[in-house]
Structures are given as C-alpha cells and as structure tokens.
Chain A
Amino acid sequence: MTSQSSAVEPRQRRPLRLAEIFLLILALAGGVGGFAMVGLSIRGELPDQFWFRSGLLGATALVAHIVLRLRAPWADQVILPVVVLLSGIGMSMIWRLEISGSVGMAPANVAGSMQASLVGVVIAFALLWILKDHRWLRRYTYTAMVVGLVAIVLPLIPGLGREINGARIWVFIGNYSLQPAEFAKIALAVFFAGYLVTNRDTLALAGPKILGLQLPRLRDLGPIILVWIVSLAVLVLQQDLGTSLLFFGLFVAMLYQATSRSSWIVLGMTLFGAGAITAARAFPHFQARIDVWLHPFEPQYYDREFGSSYQIVQGLFSMANGGMFGTGWGEGRPFQIPFAFSDYIYAALGEELGLTGLTVIVLSYLLLVQRGLKAALSVRDGFGKLLAGGLAFAMALQVFVVIGGITRIIPLTGLTLPFMAQGGSSLLANWIVVALMLRISDSARRPSDLPVRGQVAAGAPAPEPEPILVGSPGSDGGTPVDGTPAAGTNLPRRRIADRAPDDTGGSSAPTEHIGTEGPPEHRPEHRGGERS
C-alpha cells in the first residue's frame, strides 16, 4: 500500500485550483459589478453596505474555495464559479428590487437572501468537509425515501402547510417558511440512486415484452407506482405541476439512466400525461391555469380577479422591454411584475440585462448541469453516477420548468430558479446539491492507484475484507443477478465496505466493488447489450 502511494504521489500532486481562482474573480466581478450598478443607477451612489456585502460575497467564495482545496482538491473547478456568478447576479436583482420596491407577498430582501445563501454555503461545505465519500449516502437509501416522502407530504398537513398563489408547497414553522420540495428533491435523488443501483438489473431484464417495449415485472413496479402516486398527489393536492413534474421527471430520468430502457420513459410520460390530463379535466383551478398559459392575452383571462394571466403578461412585457441588450441595471421597470424577486426573477433580469444577459444565465445553468453530468460520466461507482446524474438532471429540469413557465413553454408553476431567486429553501437545498456534485466530481477525478481493471486482475494485492464482501474482482463479469441481493439484506455488509475508502485513502480497489456495482464501464454493457 505505502509503496504504491509513494510511487504515485510525485506524478499526481494536488491541483492548485488556479482555474477556479481565475473564474471566481470573473464571477465575483459580475456580482459586485451588479451591486454597484444597481445603486449607481437608481440612487446615483453605491448602495448602502456595498463594501460589506461585496466583501461578504468574496469572502464566502474564498472560504468555499479553500474548503475545496483542502477536502476536495480534484473537484470540478467550474462549478463553484458558475454558482457564485448566478448568485451574484440574483442578489443584484433582489437588491435592485429592494431599492425600488416591488410587488409580492413580502418585499424583496437582499439581506435575507444573502443570509440564506450564507447558511446554504456553510451547511453545504460543512457537508463537503464531513462527507469524505459520497458512497456513504448509499447507506441511507431508504431513510432518504422516507425523508423525501415526508417532506413532500408536509405542506398538506393542516396548520403546517399553507397555500400561496394557489400552490400548497409551503410549510410554516413560526416565522420561517420552507419549501420542502427543494429538500425532497435531494432525498429522492439519493433514494433513487441507491434503489436503482441495486435493482436495475431486475428492472431492466425481467418482464414481458409488449409491442416491442420491454416492460417491467409487476412486482418490480412497486416503488415506481409509489412515486407516480406521490407525484400525482402533489399535482392534485398541492396544485403544483412544477414540483410534480420535477419528482416524476427525476425518477424517470434516473430509471432510464440506470436501466437504459427507453420503455421507462414512454411508460413514465404516458402515466404522467394521463394523470395530468385527468387532473386538468377534473379540477377547475387546473383548467384555469391551462387557459392562462395558452391564452394569456385574452381579456377574459387577463382581467379576471383570481388566477388571471396578469403575472405572465407582465413578465412578457418586462422581457420585451429588455430586448436584445436590456435597459441596464436599475433602468427598467421589473418591479411591475408580481414576485419579480422570486418566481419571476428571470423575466426581471431579462428586462435589465436583455436577451444577451439571459443567454449568459441559461448557458451558465447549462454549464453547471453538464459539469454535473460529466461527474456522473467519470465517477467510477454506479451509485455516484446515478446520484450525480439525478441531481444534475433535477437541476436542469427545475431550470426548465421555471424558465419554461415564464416563457410559456409549459404552464407556470411554483418553483424558483436555483441560486438566483429569493427564497431560503431553494438557496439552501441547491447549495447542498452543489456540494454533492463537487464531492462526486472530486472522487471522479481523484487519481486512482488502480485505475485499470486489468491491473486488479493481474494480481494486485487485494485488501482483506474484499473477498468476503463481493467475491473476487473476477466475479464482476459473472452471472447477471448474483450481485444484486435485496437492499435490505445488503445493508450490514455494505456498512463494512463503506469503511474501506476511509481507511485506505487513495486505494480505490475496494470501493470499486461496493455493493453490487462492478466497474461501471463494462457491466451494464454486458447486460443491456449496448455499447457505450
């Protein structure tokens, strides 16, 4: 072990993360520049607390960078700067709306938004510090399921949940409000990753083939039906298409990612579509939302007192006013849109930064998501692949649902834009997502002592616990189902295995074989019959 480490060390020094520093400086310039412009444009001077808040933003980014250097030196260097840029732009707009005044349940509050981001960063990077390996999370697969489902149901509990703007996706505890769906998103991604990595073979292979589609066995459908029911319950009881779409889309995407069965996508979309159409038929408030989406300019929908298209139309006016290059910070009238600082921050930014600015924002999200997916591609374990893929896809889906709602691709929903919109839950939850992405990307890029499978086969000394756990490395290509015991019985054994990476540091041989997952590049291809 030691001899190996010393042989590897000189070639693979910890990265200095200079690219990240450089990109962070650019990102901070965008945010601090926004702060300054907002004050200069509206008041003719730097806004109050400009230096303090700019310093806070910079210090937060610096601390995050240092944590990464110390605890995840190989993590992706683009993720943090992109998130800092999006946060800075979002805070600038919230600040701008705070200065000018705005329409909403509560006023725009940049201090609150910064606090929430700060708490989010602290929690996220504390998690990054503690969680040395993302595979630890696999232990909590079913705990995560329970947490996720409870979080989804919370807003429905009388006295706790509250309906805002027709959507019941909020929980109030004292003066604090939470959008549990944001956290449920993470819990469900963990659960799906853990569940699917264990069961993907059965899901993929067993079952009848109907009309050319490989359908799953009925008894494997249990969790899927459960998620479907929960999603539709969210849709109907919480009246929020966005959250429902987010959960269901997340599950279907991860299911497809795990099993490579396109039949799942077809089945999932059919189920969801049928559910949504039925809901639209059965519930008038739902039909009202569809009407507003399809015909926002019709006077009968624009002028009606409840559930009018006023917000949609004001958002469109705002974006149109921005045009190609925008009015500039503080020069537009984004405060005319209800909830410009939260649900509608995209339209508000469109007015002041124009199509150019929105393109930068959309591409920044795309970059973030693709970095997450890249981590999924390069990480070695199946759980990590599914978790990174799921979290990245959930982020993409959330951005799509929010912006798609504002730009009328889909009906408007109650979700908010990650990192930009005012709202503690969203900020907190998405920083945690970022921490997980960074953690997975770190382990994806961390140089392995045994990067090539052939080396293992060639007789590298296998650590002691391994044979007990999943058999010899040679068994990887063995029979399809033997490596996939039921998750319940798997738990104790996995706990032993999970300790391995902690103890062995750079040696990843044991971690390769945790649970059921063999070297991921090979195994699914054998079974699914496809080539990557």
Chain B
Amino acid sequence: MNTTTRRLASIVMVMFLALLVSTTWIQFFQADKLNSDPRNARALYAQFGTDRGPIVVDGEAIASSVPSDDEWNYQREYAQGRLYAPLTGYYSLVSGTSGIERAENDFLAGSADALWVERVRNLLTGSDSQGSSVELTIDAAAQRAAWDALGDQRGSVVALEPSTGRILAMVSKPTFNPNDLATHNTKEARDAYLKLLNDENSPLVSRATNTHYPPGSTFKLITAAAAIEGGDYDESTVIDAPTTYTLPGTRTDLPNYGGTACSPSGEQSLADAMRISCNTAFAKLGVDLGADALADQAAEFGFGEGVNVPFSAVASTFPDPESLSPDNLAQSAIGQWEVRVTPLQVAMVSAAIANGGELMKPYSVDTVRDAELQIVSETRESSMGSAVSESTASQLADMMVEVVESGSGTSAQISGTTVAGKTGTAQTTREVPPHAWFTGFAPADDPQVAVAVVVEQGGSMGSEATGGRVAAPIAKAVIEAVLNG
C-alpha cells in the first residue's frame, strides 16, 4: 500500500501546486486588472476614506473633508458650492472628479511625490495621512462681485492679474452644486449627475475655460494689434470706414451695428474705428492685413494652445489661413465666422495688453501646504511670450481707454479710475440674440486686473443687448471689487 500512498502524496502535491499557481495568478498577474475594475470599490474607498486637504480662498476653505459617520469616514463639503464650482469641480463617488479636485488630487489626497517626508513621518508615528491644502489665487470679493453682477444671466466672468497671470475670479452660469454630486448617497448623486448631464444649458461645463464663443468685436483688439505690429499702422492711421462693406468676391454687404455710418467721410483713424467698434473698417483692415497676419497675431495671444490652470482650458481657435477665403477673412477680422474663444482667452488678450504686451500664463493655484502648514509647492508666474511690443500694447491701451471714455464701453467707467476696455456683440445665428462681450483692464496706467465678461444671448436684454450695455457693467463691478479689496 505504500506505493499507492506515495502516489496519493504526489497527487496531493499536484493539487496544492495548482492552488499556489491559481493564487499567484490572481494576486500577482491579474492584480492590476482586478484593482482597476470599475466594480472594485477599493480604489474609491482608498481615495474617499482619507482626510482630504481643503481648497482655500482668502483663508477660507471652500472645499473641505469633514468626518462622517458612514463607511467612508469623510464627507467632502463645499462651503459655497455654486459660486466656486468652475474652480473646485466635484469629488464624487459616482461621477469621479473634476476641476481642482482632479488637477490637484495628488496633493489633496496626500499622495504626491513631494509629500514623501510627511508620509514617512505618518508611517513612523502611526498617524493617518492627511491631505495638503491647496490655496487659490482667487480674490473672494471679485468672485462674489462677478457672481452677483452676472445675476440670473447665462455667461461667464474671468478676471486675471495682468502682471502675474493669477486668476482673480472665475464664474460660470448656470452652474451646479458640487455637494449634490459629492453625497455618499450614490442614488442621489447619480440622479443629480444625470440631471445635470442632460440639462440643455450644460451646467457641468465651466464656460470660463471650456466653452467656445464667437468673440465678436473683442477680436478687433487682435486685428488692431496685427496692424500696428505690422509697422504700417498706428492708432492715428486713417483707414477706410465705409457705411457698408461688400465682402470680397461676394455680393454680400457687411453693415455696421444698426446699419449706421462709422464716419461721414467714409474713413477714420484706427483709434476712432476701435472706439465705436466699426465693423466695416476692421473687416477691410483684416483683408488688407491678410489671413496669416491675423492668425499669427492670434497665436501670439495664446490661440491654438490649451492651458492648464492647472485644470485644463480648451484652446481658442482662429481658422486655418490657408483655406480662409477673403470674405470669411473679413468676417474673421471682426470676430465672426469660425473664430472661437473662451472667456479665459479674451481675458488673456486684455491682460497681455495691460502687461506691456507680455502674456503671463494664467494660474489658479497659489500655494500648496501640508498638514503642518509648510509650503510644499508654490506656483511661479511664467511668461507665455510677448504677444505684442510694448509700444503696440501702449497704443492698444490708449485706444481701449477711449472706448470706455467716449465709445461703446462707457458703462464700464469708474470715477477716479481710468478703465480700458473693448465691447463685443457676437452674432451666432439670426434666430437668437447675440452674445454680449466686454473685456478690459484697470487702472489703465497701472493695471491691477484684466477681465473678460460674456453674457449669452444678450442676457436679460435679449436682442437689444450689446456688450456695452450688458457686459460692461459686470466688468465694472469686478474691477471695482478688485481695486477696492
């Protein structure tokens, strides 16, 4: 019987070997695949079970993790959810993460490489890991002012500090309450998410950085910049400003706003054309300059390049000059046709002009501090290059001051402060009212803030809206908030 017993022993060996192989297969070879299975809640628990660091604006936490009695240990809460939603984004079991919550996740969760010292300390002391706090560049007063001034209208406001690129305000409406998505009640979170996702006004999308608008007349700043940079023009150069301009190669007449004449003589200075936002003058100027000049100038202001602030903002676009017909070029020169911008991009144009032509990279995260409040990371301002020369910038600034002093943007005037600006009224289709734009900066001699405001479809004024009437007062409110703060 011993022979057979030994054979049974061999069979047992084979059986146990199979167990070791299958166990190894699961724990070693299949582990990554199993760990990343969406049905495996462990990654979520590991992430959501930590004391995540707060997101801070002006010393106040706008997003924080508070201990909860449920299985997740911590609940993410947003103090003023809707106000800061385009910045914070959401942190949800159901829909994942977005905004700062996603872009700065490594620091907030405490898992960033830069935090290794703290992690080693936690390991030795046995204390639970704590996320770092992320402090934003946002000016709470400006953010609030932008929010209030935009009111119930759909649109967006972006404010930048021209000399650094710090984002001072970023508002998008309609928006969402990130608390609705952060709830641990997954059914409620899922319902809220689906409702937001299917809303025709796309409240989940931050209009400031991720929605494309036609820039309308605000693009005239770039057309003028291209003209002056080319060397053949300055602010006093007299250019053609006909009552109507027949688009080259077509019989279509391009009128001015309201069909009025820009000047009795049919020509005016570049500064005057800017001041009253003369369509015919800039359309013809654009055609005279050529598609390449406009496209290059747009690119120098940041078109065609997405930026991470640190969450991503989509690139604004100017049509491909190779395939741009003269009539479409004329339309593009006044910010119509296929020119598409984000409010952030428009603010960057004003900021570059305010900063002597140098475009600073916009950013929203100031410092990251660990649980002991030691600075772990600090954003350094960085230049994206010179968009225009200093003299060009200065001429553009002069023209923008005139726009606010006596042109289309008078509603942005602030007593005691020189405001520079440019209005825009961007047609999309004939059926819907135009988008109202305003962009500018102040004080003109020592710029502290550059803003861009877009109000969709005329906002509360509907088809009567112009950038000057609807958007400029909002910009004024934001500028005042920054300057008084």
Which A residues are closer than 8 A to B by beta carbons? 44, 253, 256-260, 297, 302, 313, 316-317, 319-324, 333, 336, 350, 354-355, 358-359, 362-363, 365-366, 369-370, 373, 376-377, 382, 385-386, 389, 392-393, 396-397, 399-400, 403-404, 407-409, 520-521, 524-525, 530-532
Contacts and interface: CB of A to CB of B under 8 A. Distances in A.
Interface in B27-77: 27-28, 30-35, 37, 39-42, 45
Residue of B5, B34, B126 with most chain A CB atoms under a 10 A cut-off: B5
B1 A258 contact: yes
Interface string B441-479: 000000000000000000000000000000000000000
B12 interface: yes
B120 interface: no
B5 A407 contact: no
A44 B30 CA distance: 33
A340 to B, nearest CB: 14
B23 A403 contact: yes
B48 to A, nearest CB: 12
A373 B26 contact: no
A403 B18 CA distance: 10
B27 A317 contact: no
B2 A520 contact: yes
A258 B41 CA distance: 51
Contacts of A373: 5, 8-9, 12
A518 to B, nearest CB: 12
Nearest to A366: B16
Given A257-B5, A320-B35, A385-B1, A355 B24 contact: yes
Given A362-B23, A409-B22, A520 B1 contact: yes
A321 B5 contact: no
Interface string B76-101: 00000000000000000000000000
A369 B26 CA distance: 24
A396 B3 contact: no
B4 A320 contact: no
Nearest to A370: B9
21 contacts: A256-B8, A257-B8, A316-B30, A320-B33, A320-B35, A322-B27, A323-B27, A333-B42, A355-B28, A358-B27, A363-B16, A366-B12, A385-B5, A389-B1, A389-B5, A396-B15, A399-B19, A520-B2, A524-B3, A532-B2, A532-B3
Nearest to A521: B2
Nearest to B2: A532
A302 B39 CA distance: 10
Contacts of B19: 362, 399-400, 403-404, 407, 409
B432 interface: no
A258 B1 CA distance: 6
Nearest to A367: B16
A403 B24 CA distance: 12
Nearest to A321: B42
B37 A317 contact: yes
Contacts of B37: 297, 313, 317
A407 B1 contact: no
Nearest to A332: B42
Contacts of B40: 317, 320-321
B12 A407 contact: no
B386 to A, nearest CB: 52
Contacts of B23: 319, 350, 355, 358-359, 362, 403, 407
Report, nearest first, the 5 A-B pairs whose CB atoms are least far apart: A320-B34, A407-B22, A355-B27, A320-B31, A532-B3
B20 interface: yes
Nearest to B12: A396
Contacts of B39: 302, 313, 317
A373 B172 CA distance: 75
A520 B4 CA distance: 12
A258 B42 CA distance: 50
Contacts of B35: 317, 320-321
A389 B22 contact: no
Contacts of B42: 317, 321, 333, 336
Contacts of B41: 333, 336
B114 interface: no
B13 interface: yes
Residue of A260, A320, A409, A532 with most chain B CB atoms under a 10 A cut-off: A320
B251 interface: no
Contacts of A403: 19, 22-23
B6 interface: yes
Nearest to A336: B41
Nearest to A517: B1
Nearest to B42: A321
Contacts of A532: 2-3, 6
Contacts of B28: 323-324, 355
Given A531-B3, A532-B2, A404 B12 contact: no
Contacts of B18: 400, 404, 409
B22 A408 contact: yes
B1 A359 contact: no
A242 B4 CA distance: 24
A377 B6 contact: yes
A516 to B, nearest CB: 13
A404 B40 CA distance: 22
B3 A316 contact: no
Contacts of B15: 396-397, 400
Contacts of A355: 23-24, 27-28
B1 A386 contact: yes
Interface string B411-437: 000000000000000000000000000
A486 B16 CA distance: 38
Residue of B2, B4, B7, B11 with most chain A CB atoms under a 10 A cut-off: B4
A393 B8 contact: yes
A365 B16 contact: yes
A377 B43 CA distance: 50
A400 B15 CA distance: 7
A392 B4 CA distance: 14
Contacts of B26: 316, 319-320, 350, 407
Contact of B34 (A317, A365, A392, A530): A317
A362 B16 contact: yes
Contacts of B3: 260, 524-525, 530-532
A521 B3 CA distance: 10
A354 B26 CA distance: 11
Contacts of B1: 257-258, 260, 376, 382, 385-386, 389, 520, 524
Contacts of B8: 253, 256-257, 373, 389, 393
Nearest to B20: A362
A400 B27 CA distance: 18
Nearest to A365: B16
Residue of B1, B22, B24, B40 with most chain A CB atoms under a 10 A cut-off: B1
A366 B22 contact: no
A400 B16 contact: yes
B357 to A, nearest CB: 55
Interface string B329-364: 000000000000000000000000000000000000
Given A260-B4, A316-B26, A520-B2, A359 B20 contact: yes
B123 to A, nearest CB: 12
Residue of A359, A386, A521 with most chain B CB atoms under a 10 A cut-off: A359
B2 A377 contact: yes
Contacts of A386: 1
B274 to A, nearest CB: 61
